Structure 1
Amino acid sequence: MIFIQGLWLFIALASLSGFSVILPVPWGAVFFFHLIWIQIVRTHNRKLVFKALTVYILSILAGLWSHSTHITHLKASDTSFHMLFQNGPSIDGNLLKAKVFLPEKKERLVLQYTIPSQMKKAELQRTIRPGTECIAEGKLSEPEKNRNENLFNYKFYLEEENIHWTFKAGSLDFCKQGKTGMAEKIEALREKGMEQVQKTFIPATVPYAEALLFGDSSNFDDQQYAMFQRLGVVHLLAISGLQVNILAYGLFFILIRLGFTRESSRAVLLLILPIYAIICGSNPPVVRAVFMSMLLLGSKKNMLSGLDALSISFLVCMFYNPCLLFNIGFQLSFLVSLSILLSSRTILARQSNALVNMMKISLVSQVVSLPILMYSFFQISVISLLTNLIFVPFYSFLLTPLILINFVLSLICDVKGLTMILHPLFFLLSNLLTILIKAEEIIAEQFNQKWAVLVTGKPCVFLLLGLFACVFLFYILWEKGYKLWKAGIPFLVLMTGFILFQTFNPFGEVTFIDIGQGDSILIKLPFNRGIYLIDTGGEVSFEQENWEKRLHQFHVGNDILIPYLKSKGIRKIDKLILTHSDQDHIGAARELMKEIGIQTLYISPNAWRKPLMYQTVKAAVHERIPIERIKAGYSWKNASGFFLIVSPLTDVYEGNNSSLVLYAAFGGETWLFTGDLEKKGEERLLKAYNIQANILKAGHHGSRTASSEKFIEQIKPKLAVISAGKNNRFGHPHQEVLDTLNSHHVLILRTDQMGAVHYRFFQNHGTFSVEFP
């Protein structure tokens, strides 16, 4: 056959180039993917070229068909739906979330429901299962695009799954079990399995058991999950291809020992593996591994190689859903598998020592993952090679089998009423996990977050392709016998050049980050002359009962501010200016201090006497960050500009009117950043200084308590930026302020309507832009 012995790889790559023409892939990447045709033609195999061309055309047609079917028939005015839960919902505190199917509309949407009472929560936990049908009333809304550059695009993520609406339900009633198909029955089996884990396992081991048996890592708290990310081993909390292979070969061995023939053993596995994929949550790495295993098991006389099976799996996944190409798990799973398979006959075949080969496999996996990690997460773990060598064997060959044995025995003993005899096994599992967690914590403590990861920033598409080319060159040079450090020189040179450019970029930028209702302003001067952050934003929390509290809370710092700074390659902030002690201005400061280096923290006199600022200062002392109390008259300058604090004028702390107000001249403009300064503070400022500013950050989010007629008249701004949350409960900005600014012909840019506001400049010339023009 023409496709045997690796030629399926050419077909898969030809398909990739075809899909890239239709999918929203940058043209640089499209060109890069089409380079494979040079190699296909060079094979001089007409049958291969013809079949590759056929698959290429079919891929374009499949992409067009997929695009034409990604449409919605719903309207914003629709308020009531009959919905089917194909999977169990996620219930976290008082929030229920699920992707539900609308049988009458033949469409899926994201359901969000705030549970009103503990009794209602118990009812929903008891009644909603895969196959449950409910009636919900509420409001449809379109998912928004990014409100800040580079961050997670929720709208695009949902569109990949052909979901175009989120539905915020006001009521969720009349729930009953409907007709269930095979998929719903398997999903229900998965739900019962997780309930069995929660019922029988020691609480500390439950998140690990759910993650390693069912692919559900939602019960890990955010701090624990962040520790795994810092160590570069977060993939261990998901079911990997390695675990699927261990299970498949383990079951095959057991069946043979039980007297099954090889053919019947393969038939049993071919039946079990698809069910296992659904039970594990059907995530792309598991689907890839299961499909590969099924192909290899089903091929006669080993006619398919591992490379062929991987290529066919890729083809099937892409034709099933072309948008999987944008799934990070899909990308990493196929790239890592491809690199290991291509290395198996050369790099890995040179050494018979198992430990050395394990180190090589880890290195191969880490290197090929770097460009994707840089592009998606803006950082790479510098200790992941070490931590993977330590923890992968423990999780794959010890912890996972032990959890599986405990689970199977718990099912057997539950039926026979012998659960008491499992206590020693659960005790062993708990102690093993305690040792592992302790080891992880010790390593995490030794490698502080600020240097356990290397913040790289987000590379552009052309740099990303260059990095992949350098990875490819690395493998070629390594295969030819070059030493590792020599083989890695092109990659290291390119990555170092990128990081240096990010750091010493000749262009400057000011960003009014959209952090919701609050302030956070980044000033990034050219040539690394200064990186200043004015306020951090922060979410306002309210008292809740225990049943309402969520395991996964939204945090402005961890979910918006820190990822945004890292996407810009920022590892250190020279000056963190906290204007005053309100939650919506400094609430995320403590999160920031743990992740990003701070050279100096600036606060207004006696602001530390307020509880929140006191806790912030205390955290800064713990992180050994110098603290300066400053007021009007404090200034600094450099080659890029001049900066002067013009308020407060006294040491008496008066809340909003004691906000640190910064006047600055840089980038060809003059700026006034006012914090939450109100009219009383504005009057004092006008008496003390005779200043004008082209750009005004409107005080107090556009509240009527600030931006007085007299203040605007004297400052004479050409443009005002109002930082406020979309649909905020305070009604900011107030119409009175908007009228005042309009009457003075001031151009208004608002984060609530436009998302983040940017000013990018070179020397003394710059332009403003917004996320939503």
Structure 2
Amino acid sequence: MTIQSIKTRFRAYQLDSAGSSFSYFSGDGFELIEGRYCDANEQSISQEMKSCGVDKISTLHITSWDQDHCSPSQVQRILEDLKPSKIEYPGYEPHTDSGKESLKIITAYKKNNSTPRIISVTPKYIQSLESASSYGYKNVIYWPKDMDVKNANNNSTAKQFRSGSFNVLSLGDLESAQIASYLKSTRSINSEVDVMIMAHHGADNGFTSSSFLKKVKPTLAIATSNYGNQYDHPKQEIRELLHKNEVRLFTTKTGDVIVQSIGNHKGQFEVINLKSGSTEVSSHYTGNAKKGQYLKNNGDTLRDRRATHNTGPKC
């Protein structure tokens, strides 16, 4: 297998309140990550879709029922304006009024439209999926494999977006060190992650550790915050861990973060951190996707790697 030429874009959007909003585009599929769609990011999402040549989103992927990930009124607007053909929503029962209302809106969307595919990401759903191929182009859903009845954050969805020329790992609000230990042991995480969306916005809660970073070795870490950053995302202890492990940190405090494939779209990418509310660039970086290094190898080398590493479930 050789690496495919796929125009790929990832964007982290600055919001006007605490929360997360991202998108991942590869080829012709535009996935919106988290149910946030407000004055702060609506125009940026529209610009991003225009840059990618799409007028609808292929998937709305929601990792948590918490309002900073999934606002009912904003979910309603996403469904009305962007018309996703697939929705992946958290498989645990919402425990907040906003989460319950968001679930009702998604359920109504399914009833009123014949085409959307609506998926509740539960342990049973993940178990039903086929095994993922090594260094391939199928997205992988890793978690939840179990449900935590005491801490809903640990029921967040963890997914790796692998369909483009570079890979993005989304970790929702996960907090457990045990879950981190499981995830870092999976081959498609510890060999392929280029961009890591930080768990729980970069909180110092036990998930993000030196051992996790040493094993996964992401090139970039993305933490979301609004301009005020009242929750100090990510925490200083986490910033120090990232620096120690040579992981470049980009945050949306200063503006949107854009990662886009360049050249022949076979693995090289550039990162642009915009200034808040403008198209001016505050920082810039270029890098190379990990899977590009392996897909250039010969077939025997790839077969050897497949035989000696675990694979995860794919979607």
Relative to the length of structure 1, the TM-score reads: 0.30
- Structure 1 residue matching 2:189: 3-state secondary structure: coil
The alpha-carbon deviation at position 508 of structure 1 amounts to 2.6
- Determine whether 1:599 maps to 2:85: yes
Equivalence for 2:139 = 643
Q: Distance in 2 between matches of 1:714 and 1:612?
A: 36
- Structure 2 residue matching 1:642: 3-state secondary structure: coil
Q: Distance in 1 between matches of 2:248 and 2:170?
A: 16
Q: Residue 519 of structure 1 contacts residue 675 of structure 1 at CA under 8 Å; is this kept in 2?
A: no
- Determine whether 1:664 maps to 2:161: yes
- Structure 1 residue matching 2:39: 3-state secondary structure: helix
Larger Rg: 1
- Structure 2 residue matching 1:621: 3-state secondary structure: helix
Q: Distance in 2 between matches of 1:765 and 1:688?
A: 24
Q: Distance in 2 between matches of 1:580 and 1:702?
A: 15
Stretches (4+) displaced over 4 A: 631-637, 687-690
Greater relative contact order (Cα < 8 A, sep 6+): 2
The alpha-carbon deviation at position 566 of structure 1 amounts to 2.6
1:678 to 161, 172, 175: 175
The alpha-carbon deviation at position 643 of structure 1 amounts to 0.6
Q: Distance in 1 between matches of 2:174 and 2:153?
A: 5
Q: Residue 605 of structure 1 contacts residue 652 of structure 1 at CA under 8 Å; is this kept in 2?
A: no
The alpha-carbon deviation at position 630 of structure 1 amounts to 1.9
Q: Which amino acid is the alignment partner of residue 535 of structure 1?
A: E
How well do the aligned residues superpose, as a CA RMSD in angstroms? 2.7
Equivalence for 1:581 = 65
Q: How does 1:490-529 map to 2 (within 5 A)?
A: 507-516=7-16, 517-526=18-27, 528=28
Percent identity over paired residues: 20
2:30 to 531, 547, 555: 531
Q: Distance in 2 between matches of 1:626 and 1:667?
A: 22
- Structure 1 residue matching 2:40: 3-state secondary structure: helix
Q: Residue 643 of structure 1 contacts residue 663 of structure 1 at CA under 8 Å; is this kept in 2?
A: yes
The alpha-carbon deviation at position 737 of structure 1 amounts to 0.1
The alpha-carbon deviation at position 606 of structure 1 amounts to 2.1
Q: Which amino acid is the alignment partner of residue 699 of structure 1?
A: A
1:562 to 42, 49, 66: 42
Deviations 1:547-570 (A, max 9, x none): xxxxxxxxxx24133333333234
Q: Residue 576 of structure 1 contacts residue 601 of structure 1 at CA under 8 Å; is this kept in 2?
A: yes
Q: Distance in 1 between matches of 2:230 and 2:45?
A: 28
The alpha-carbon deviation at position 669 of structure 1 amounts to 2.7
Q: Which amino acid is the alignment partner of residue 86 of structure 2?
A: T
Q: Residue 138 of structure 2 contacts residue 162 of structure 2 at CA under 8 Å; is this kept in 1?
A: yes
Q: Distance in 1 between matches of 2:98 and 2:187?
A: 31
**Number of residue-to-residue matches in the alignment:** 246
The alpha-carbon deviation at position 744 of structure 1 amounts to 0.5
Q: Distance in 1 between matches of 2:267 and 2:214?
A: 25
Q: Residue 140 of structure 2 contacts residue 162 of structure 2 at CA under 8 Å; is this kept in 1?
A: no
* Greater percentage in strand: 2
Deviations 1:523-565 (A, max 9, x none): 1112x1x11111033xxxxxxxxxxxxxxxxxxx241333333
2:231 to 699, 716, 730: 730
- Structure 1 residue matching 2:140: 3-state secondary structure: strand
Q: Distance in 2 between matches of 1:670 and 1:524?
A: 11
Q: Residue 605 of structure 1 contacts residue 651 of structure 1 at CA under 8 Å; is this kept in 2?
A: no
Q: Distance in 1 between matches of 2:162 and 2:68?
A: 26
Give the 3 Å change call, closer, same or farther, for CA 649–687 of structure 1 in structure 2: farther
Q: Residue 7 of structure 2 contacts residue 165 of structure 2 at CA under 8 Å; is this kept in 1?
A: no
- Determine whether 1:767 maps to 2:270: yes
Equivalence for 2:197 = 697
- Structure 1 residue matching 2:64: 3-state secondary structure: coil
The alpha-carbon deviation at position 688 of structure 1 amounts to 6.0
Q: Distance in 1 between matches of 2:268 and 2:7?
A: 10
Q: Which amino acid is the alignment partner of residue 599 of structure 1?
A: S
- Structure 2 residue matching 1:726: 3-state secondary structure: coil
Q: Distance in 2 between matches of 1:690 and 1:622?
A: 35
Q: Distance in 2 between matches of 1:731 and 1:591?
A: 29
Q: Distance in 2 between matches of 1:745 and 1:565?
A: 30
Relative to the length of structure 2, the TM-score reads: 0.70
Equivalence for 1:612 = 98
Q: Distance in 1 between matches of 2:117 and 2:161?
A: 23
Q: How does 1:218-617 map to 2 (within 5 A)?
A: 507-516=7-16, 517-526=18-27, 528=28, 530-537=29-36, 557-567=37-47, 568-569=49-50, 570-587=54-71, 588-608=74-94, 610-617=96-103
Q: Distance in 2 between matches of 1:525 and 1:665?
A: 9
The alpha-carbon deviation at position 689 of structure 1 amounts to 6.0
Q: Residue 604 of structure 1 contacts residue 659 of structure 1 at CA under 8 Å; is this kept in 2?
A: yes
* Greater percentage in helix: 1
The alpha-carbon deviation at position 617 of structure 1 amounts to 1.9
**Uncovered stretches (5+) of structure 2, i.e. residues with no partner:** 1-5, 111-115, 276-281, 283-315
Give the 3 Å change call, closer, same or farther, for CA 730–558 of structure 1 in structure 2: closer
Q: Residue 250 of structure 2 contacts residue 257 of structure 2 at CA under 8 Å; is this kept in 1?
A: yes
- Structure 1 residue matching 2:167: 3-state secondary structure: strand
Q: Residue 513 of structure 1 contacts residue 519 of structure 1 at CA under 8 Å; is this kept in 2?
A: yes
Deviations 1:199-234 (A, max 9, x none): xxxxxxxxxxxxxxxxxxxxxxxxxxxxxxxxxxxx
Q: Which amino acid is the alignment partner of residue 81 of structure 2?
A: E
- Structure 2 residue matching 1:582: 3-state secondary structure: coil
Q: Residue 601 of structure 1 contacts residue 628 of structure 1 at CA under 8 Å; is this kept in 2?
A: yes
Q: Residue 66 of structure 2 contacts residue 96 of structure 2 at CA under 8 Å; is this kept in 1?
A: no
Q: Distance in 2 between matches of 1:621 and 1:605?
A: 13
Q: How does 1:21-100 map to 2 (within 5 A)?
A: none
1:716 to 208, 217, 230: 217
Q: Distance in 1 between matches of 2:41 and 2:171?
A: 20
Q: Distance in 2 between matches of 1:669 and 1:766?
A: 8
